[in-house]
Chains A and B, each alone.
Chain A
Amino acid sequence: MARLIASTPCAGLLPRTIGAVTLTEVMLGPVTSVAPFRDKSEAVTAALAVEGLRFPTPGETLTSGPARIIWAGHGRALLCGVEPPLALSALAALTDQTDASATVRIDGDQAQAVLARLVPVDLRQQIFPEGATARTIVGHMTASVTRVGPLAFEVMVMRSMAATLVHELSEAAIGVAAR
């Protein structure tokens, strides 16, 4: 039986360095959408304690060792890096989203300036510190944008739009670099 070979959303497109920013593809490990059922939010938080996490508040990301949880909209978060704890399955709709997204990390002095060309959200450090996340748009794409460092962000879009994401980020970076 032939083996199936995995490929990544941005295969062949990244990494790229343009001016003062570098674009790299990020593999988040297993990604599970966690959407607590009615009145189960506290129980979900309790179940997530196994991983040193809790259910995030809007706009929040939590990290504990390899496990991360990213707020992803109304009553929903993405648990990344670990398989969901067994106890969660009765408490929340768990949906495998490992392959649903393309995630690109943008690093560098001009990272915020490049994103300011595409994202209509206030990304200033004092408003959007490390760990802050937003569901927003990048150009014409719905996206999740998270600050992962003073000069670094992760941008997540639908997997099928990986090429457009790389194109948009690259074009914005070229314009910023040319200034």
Chain B
Amino acid sequence: MRITGKGLLDPTSSINFTFDGHMYQGLEGDTLASALLANNVKLMARSFKYHRPRGVLTAGSEEPNALMTVGNGAGAEPNIRATVQEIYDGLEARSQNRWPSLKRDVMAVNDLIAPFLSAGFYYKTFMWPRSFWEKLYEPIIRHAAGLGALSGQNNPDRYERAFAFCDVLVIGAGPTGLMAALTAARAGADVILADEDSRMGGRLLAETDPINGQPAHHWVSETLTELSALPNVRLMPRTTITGAYDQGTFGALERIGHHRPRDPNLPLECFWRIVAQRSILCAGALERPIAFPNNDRPGIMTASAVRAYLNRWGVAPGREVTVYGNNDDAHRTARDLVAAGVTVAALIDARDDAQVTGDFPVLTGGSVIATAGRLGLENIMVKHAGGQRLIRTDCLAMSGGWNPSVHLTCHMNGRPVWNDAIASFVPVPGMIPGMLVAGAAMGVFSTAGCLTDGVRATTEILRELGLKAKKMKLPEAENAAYNLHPVWAVEGKGRKWLDFQNDVTVKDIHLAAQENFRSVEHMKRYTTQGMATDQGKNSNVAALAILADATGRGIPETGTTTFRPPYTPVAVAALGATAQGKGFAPERFTTSHPIAVDRAAPMIEAGLWYRASYFPKPGETHWRQSCDREVNMVRSTVGVCDVSTLGKIDIQGPDAAQFLDLVYTNTFSTLPVGKVRYGLMLREDGYVMDDGTCARLGDQQYVLTTTTAAAGLVMRHLDFVSQGLRPDLDVQTTSVTEHWAQFSMAGPKARDLVNAVIDLPIDGDSMPYMGCGAVLVSGIAARLFRISFSGEHAYEIAVPSRYGASLYRLLLAQAESLGGGAYGLEALNVLRIEKGFITHAEIHGRTTAFDIGMDKMVSLKKDCIGQTMSRRPGLLEEGREQLVGLKPVAKSGTILAGAHLFDQGAEAVRVNDQGYVTSVAWSPSMETTLALGFLKRGRARHGEVIRLVDHLRGVETECVVCDPVFLDPAGGRLRG
């Protein structure tokens, strides 16, 4: 019920929204919770386990009950706290965890069998039969218990992530935080003030006590006006600091789009990483409920929430309100309600000696021992000094005292300590390096105390930063006493709820203790107390107080569980923001990419690169047709392929040759200038890391190539060797992969093609096999290498990348006039398999130079990385799996990569495994399938027929073992 003249909202604003299909009106600045209460809607949710009817318990982010689904379709968001969600025109909210409706939820049958669903129920009940857990028990439990569900569709919303830096991060903008921010800002520090609420001010917006004789929110506005005018202050409302991490780093979730209609360009949320030199935690405190029988009916909420709804939102959550508390703070509730014209049916104070007067009945030494009202509170039974009394009431405001919000201080494994005066935990210094805690989060509960404490903490921090705090004039504010007498649970018949969100009762805690789950950590896990999305914010302290009582220990001895990030739930979409779709990984495009796309070449990802798979010609309907044609083209005329993606590393320096001798198994110091050599690199453990070519461009300059996949790995390796292993060598390595666009020209007419594009023609003498040199292409300096990955007479030409596209076009035009053309990765793969050249399919990290038949390349005349380890006896045994070629006995036989090899007649089981297939291609040159693979003692078994079995795809083929070089083993074509 909205009360005219109360609250800080504009009464003339009107916003339409729906809840469970019904249209309601609210005011601008309303949360879903305040707007629903204004419309006398108290039933907002069903509880997690027992489907108990529930209303709102709090007015903040700690809300355990009023979780709703907001929005529709793919972007519908479950488990949105009604106390946090601001309303906007067109907002659609739905209740959760109920069927068919919130008022009539058939799953509420769970509540009737509650006696069987006590703590540890799952552990006791679902032990057997074991196989039933996944198939039966878990799905049923998941279905019956739970929260809202995601749409199951792709996330349609924009999320953002961002980084921020500051000198002082102030967490929370209540009286303490505002004063802290003001003190730091006036001293010239770079300040970020973050607050999870849509409106800064904290409890000052929810209480009626004046500051400087004015309503407190006036002082809040003045302070915010000053802060927002300062260039060194960033105000971040709607921003929850969710975690404290190393080195002054904080995670923060900013709500940007939640309170407006969806805009596809506007991020819904932004996940910030804030790095602060110092931080001040001014997170305030959370009021705790009291565990009395059936304390979970809609209409029962914390006293501070009742005041917040009344004073900030102008909403009375009931017509006849009762207040039940154990401290002086609760009395404000009754006073505020009466002042607003709301009937206070009774103030029940648990303390016998409570001093309170007001225009309402007072029952001291009282406790609520029963409540009634299925879908909303109707009456309560109170036991007090004078006897027992039934009171008609539709809203009960309860206060069990306040718990400082110590959560963030625990994120680096610190533990808060018990403070008897406030019967709660408070932080100790140094729990988070660089962080001070001030105000209510430190157990200082009066407004005057908070204002003072904010200045105190900030002054200390400024001193550490080498800044001087200006003299701060402290505003006048209330300094009332708290006078708490702890009340954790009330005797009486009925369930006394502790953790509203996980449906954990006082009895569950007792049961845990009785069953010897006496450690607070065990109790938590056994009962699931504190494990829901509110992370026990409303129940932790009470639960362990009850555990302490049940186990006969004091609370300090019992200890506390601590809190982990995040402080409030964070959508995974926010954490993974921008990593969706194209944001997942960079795309690397070669200079020829647009031309290949124009020619309808399908692209395949290799690393991050996009490479043309094949170039379909009209009439070709299957990739094999294109691939076969391209292979034949290369073998008969000439083909052009973009090989820019291979890593290219420039090596320079007086010790360049010595350096290469160390990283390669073979010798490069003896390589003449103008020549290229194939090289093999080993890892420290003696296994093959990568292979490639290395060209000597000058006495002290080489350029080596890596495979596409290992370019980064090799670069890192070379950096490590030069910086870490041999810093004494005077050598510099520079990646030039991106500077050069490089194209392969392969085939019998390769030289004709080269001469068609370069300015001065070459011949076999000026550019022999494995030669290299500088050439000019239309006056542009280029590099030419006579190397081959196809077994054909072939060259690679490199030009600065800006000319890549242009040269590729030119090469294609010239090649086509010679009867050749473009070839793609598929043909490239067939060509190299025919020639028995390896790729990372073969050097996959578990093979040695010995295995691939290149042990002779491991020079023993010098040392190299991996050499010693490669000499280990186990790595040089003939029984190892060795690289072989495989051909099907019947030309039409199928070979599949990944298939395993077995001896003929042997059963195709693991223990009989003889090896496996790594690469397969249909060879148009030989009109059969060819494969490379590894076979035990393979080199000695050429000619043998072996059984190939692919268990996954059900293929079995007889194959002949042969040399891996199927084509031109003498190399005549290469050198031609």
A119 / chain B contacts, CB cutoff of 8 Å: 163
Contact B734 A93 (CB under 8 A): yes
Identify A7's interface contact among B585, B739, B806, CB under 8 A: B806
Interface residue from B263, B587, B590, B591 paired with A178 (Cβ < 8 Å): B263
Contact between chains at A37 and B654 (CB < 8 Å)? yes
Pairs A–B under 8 Å by Cβ, sample size 20: A3-B778, A4-B799, A4-B803, A6-B806, A35-B734, A37-B653, A37-B730, A38-B730, A96-B736, A99-B741, A100-B736, A116-B163, A117-B161, A122-B165, A124-B190, A160-B590, A164-B587, A167-B582, A175-B267, A178-B263
In the bound complex, residues from chain A placing their C-beta under 8 Å from that of B275 are: 122
A82 at interface, CB cutoff 8 A = no
Q: Is the pair A95, B801 in contact by a Cβ cutoff of 8 Å?
A: no
A174 is an interface residue with CB less than 8 A from chain B: yes
B12 in the interface, Cβ–Cβ < 8 Å? Answer: no
B23 at the interface (CB under 8 A from A): no
Cβ of B266 under 8 Å from chain A: yes
Find residues 140-171 in chain A having any chain B CB closer than 8 Å to their own CB. 140-141, 158-164, 167-168, 171
Do A98 and B800 have beta carbons less than 8 Å apart?
A: yes
**Is residue A86 within 8 Å, beta carbon to beta carbon, of the partner chain?**
no
Report yes or no: A171 in contact with B583, Cβ–Cβ below 8 A.
Answer: yes
Contact A7 B800 (CB under 8 A): no
From B587, B778, B799, B805, contact of A1 by CB (8 A): B778
**A64 contacts the other chain (Cβ, under 8 Å)?**
no
Q: How near does chain A come to B396, taking the closest CB pair, in angstroms?
A: 42
Is B265 among interface residues, defined by CB-CB distance under 8 A? yes
From B266, B578, B650, B730, give the contact of A179 (CB < 8 A).
B266
Asked whether, in the complex, the Cβ of A97 is within 8 Å of the Cβ of B588, the reply is no
What residue of chain A has the Cβ atom nearest to residue B813's Cβ?
Answer: A2
User: A37-B730, A164-B587, A178-B265 in contact; A95/B738 too (CB < 8 A)?
Assistant: no
B367: Cβ under 8 A from any A Cβ: no
CB of B732 within 8 A of CB of A93, answer: yes
**Is B709 part of the binding interface, using a Cβ–Cβ cutoff of 8 Å?**
no
Asked whether, in the complex, the Cβ of A101 is within 8 Å of the Cβ of B266, the reply is no
What interface size band does chain B fall in?
35 or more
Per-position 1/0 for B783-823, Cβ under 8 A of A: 00000000000000001111101110010000000000000
A133 interface residue per 8 A CB criterion:
no
Closest residue of B by beta carbon distance from A157: B586
- Residue pair A99, B802 in contact (C-beta under 8 Å): yes
B266 close to A178 (CB less than 8 A): yes
CB proximity of B169 to chain A, nearest CB, Å:
14
Q: Which of A4, A9, A163, A174 has the most CB of B within 10 A?
A: A4
Q: Tell whether A120 is near chain B: CB-to-CB under 8 Å.
A: yes
Q: Is the interface of A mostly helix, strand, loop or mixed?
A: loop
Q: Are B586 and A141 in contact (CB under 8 A)?
A: yes
Contact B739 A96 (CB under 8 A): yes
The reply on B256 being an interface residue by CB < 8 A is yes
* Distance of A162 Cα from B591 Cα, bound (Å): 11
Q: Would you call B777 an interface residue if the criterion is a C-beta within 8 Å of the partner chain's C-beta atoms?
A: yes
Q: How does the 8 Å CB contact mask read for A51-94 relative to B, with 1 for contact and 0 for none?
A: 00000000000000000000000111000000000000000111
Is B165 within 8 A of A93, CB to CB?
Answer: no
B589 part of interface (Cβ distance < 8 Å):
yes
CA distance A116 to B778 in the complex (A): 44
Please name 15 further chain A to chain B contacts, defined as beta carbons within 8 Å, in addition to the given A95-B736, A139-B583, sorted by A numbering: A1-B778, A4-B780, A4-B806, A37-B732, A76-B732, A92-B732, A95-B734, A99-B739, A99-B801, A100-B738, A116-B162, A117-B161, A160-B589, A161-B588, A164-B582
Residues on A with beta carbons closer than 8 Å to the beta carbon of B805? 5, 7
Cβ distance B35 to chain A, nearest Cβ, rounded Å = 25
B730 touches A117 (CB 8 A): no
Contact at A175–B265, with CB atoms within 8 Å?
A: yes
Taking CB atoms and an 8 Å cut-off, the chain A residues in 1-18 that contact chain B are: 1-9
The CB with the most chain B CB atoms within 10 A, among A160, A163, A178, is that of: A160
Task: Type the 1/0 row for A121-147, where 1 means its CB is closer than 8 Å to any CB of B.
Answer: 110101100000000000111000000
Closest to A141 in B: B586
Residue from A75, A100, A121 within 8 A of B801 (CB atoms): A100
Contacts of B799 in A (CB 8 A): 4
With A117-B162, A139-B583, A171-B583 already in contact, the answer to whether A4 and B739 are too (CB < 8 A) is: no
Chain A residues within an 8 Å CB radius of B587: 161, 163-164
* Per-residue contact bits, chain A 22-52, to B (CB 8 Å; 1 contact, 0 not): 0000000000010101100000000000000
Residues of chain B within 8 A of A163, CB atoms compared: 587, 589
Q: Which residues of B contact A98 (CB under 8 A)?
A: 739, 800, 802
Within 8 A of A (CB), among B323-347: none
Nearest chain B CB to A78 CB, angstrom units: 11
Chain B residue nearest to A161 (CB atoms) is B586
Task: Name the interface size band of chain A.
Answer: 35 or more
Does A20 sit at the interface, judged by CB under 8 A?
A: no
CB proximity of A11 to chain B, nearest CB, Å: 9
Measured between beta carbons, the chain A residues less than 8 angstroms from B734 are 33, 35, 76, 93, 95, 97
Per-residue CB proximity of B739-770 to A under 8 Å, as 1/0?
A: 11100000000000000000100000000000
A74 touches B723 (CB 8 A): yes
Bound Cα distance from A161 to B609, whole angstroms: 9
**Of B585, B591, B652, B654, the contact of A95 (CB 8 Å cutoff):** B652
Report B577 CB to chain A, min CB distance, Å: 9
Residues of A within 8 A of B265 (CB): 174-175, 177-178
B589 engages A8 (CB within 8 Å)? no
Contacts A33-B734, A37-B653, A99-B801 given; does A175 touch B739 at CB 8 Å: no
How far is it, in angstroms, between the C-alpha of A124 and the C-alpha of B583 when the chains are bound? 25
- Establish whether residues B802 and A7, one from each chain, have CB atoms under 8 Å apart when the complex forms: yes
A residues in contact with B652, CB < 8 Å: 35, 93-95
In the complex, the answer to whether B256 meets A179 with C-beta atoms within 8 Å is yes
Residues of A within 8 A of B869 (CB): none
Residue of B nearest to A89 (CB): B652
Closest to A167 in B: B582
Cβ contacts under 8 Å, A117 to chain B: 160-163, 578
Q: Report chain B residues within 8 Å CB of A167.
A: 582-583
Please, how many angstroms separate the alpha-carbon atoms of A96 and B781 in the complex?
12
Check: B887 CB closer than 8 A to any chain A CB. no
B653/A93 in contact, CB under 8 A: yes
CB-CB under 8 A for A160 and B732, given A6-B806, A101-B738, A117-B161:
no
Q: Which of A96, A120, A172 contacts B800 (CB 8 A)?
A: A96
Complex: A9 Cα to B801 Cα, angstroms: 9
Give the residue name and chain of the A residue nearest to B759 (CB).
Answer: A1
Q: Assess whether A100 is in contact with B163, with CB atoms less than 8 Å apart.
A: no
Residues of B within 8 A of A33 (CB): 734
Q: What chain A residues lie within 8 Å of B803 (beta carbons)? A: 4-6
Shortest beta-carbon distance, A18 to chain B, in Å? 10
In the complex, which residues of chain A have a beta carbon less than 8 angstroms from the beta carbon of B109? none
- Determine the distance from Cα of A39 to Cα of B188 in the docked complex, in whole angstroms: 44
- Chain B residues near A93 (CB, 8 Å)? 650, 652-653, 732, 734
Question: Given contacts A95-B734, A96-B739, A117-B161, are A2 and B778 in contact (CB under 8 A)?
Answer: yes
In Å, the complex CA distance between A75 and B780 comes to 30
Q: Is the CB of A2 within 8 A of B810?
A: yes
Q: Are B806 and A160 in contact (CB under 8 A)?
A: no
A116 touches B164 (CB 8 A): yes
B273 within 8 A of partner (CB): yes
> Across the interface, which residues of B come within 8 angstroms of A121, CB to CB?
163
> Which residues of B in the span 141-194 have a Cβ within 8 Å of any Cβ on A?
158, 160-165, 190
Give Cα A178 to B147, complex, Å.
Answer: 32
Residues of B within 8 A of A2 (CB): 778, 810
Q: How far is the CA of A38 from the CA of B653 in the complex (A)?
A: 9
Q: How far is the CB of B590 from chain A (nearest CB, A)?
A: 7
Instruction: Provide the bound-state CA to CA distance between A164 and B589, in Å.
Output: 10
Residue of B whose beta carbon sits closest to that of A96: B739
Which residues of the partner chain B approach A100 to less than 8 Å between Cβ atoms?
Answer: 735-739, 801
Q: Which residues of A contact B807 (CB under 8 A)?
A: 4
Residues of chain A within 8 A of B801, CB atoms compared: 9, 99-100, 159
A100 to B780, CA, bound (A): 17
Q: Is the beta-carbon distance between B780 and A168 smaller than 8 angstroms?
A: no
